[in-house]
Amino acid sequence: MARSGGCLCGKVRYEANADPLMTGVCHCKNCQKQAGTAFSTLAAFQKADLAFSGELSLYEDSDTDTGNTVKRFFCGTCGSPLYSEISAQPEMAYLKTGTLDDTDDFVAMFHCWSSAKQGWVELNPDVPAFEQNPPG
Instruction: Give contact residues for Zn ion (rule: CB under 5 A).
Output: 7, 9, 11, 26, 28, 31, 75, 77-78
Other C-beta atoms lying within 10 Å of the C-beta of residue 15: 15
Cβ at position 45, least distance to Zn ion in Å: 17
CA 128, chain centre distance (Å): 18
Which residue number, 65 or 105, has a Cβ lying nearer to Zn ion?
Answer: 65
Q: Are strands 13-16 and 50-53 parallel, antiparallel or unpaired?
A: antiparallel
Sheet containing 50-53: give its strands across. 3-6, 13-16, 50-53
Cβ at position 57, least distance to Zn ion in Å: 10
Which residue number, 69 or 77, has a Cβ lying nearer to Zn ion?
Answer: 77
Which residue number, 13 or 47, has a Cβ lying nearer to Zn ion?
Answer: 13
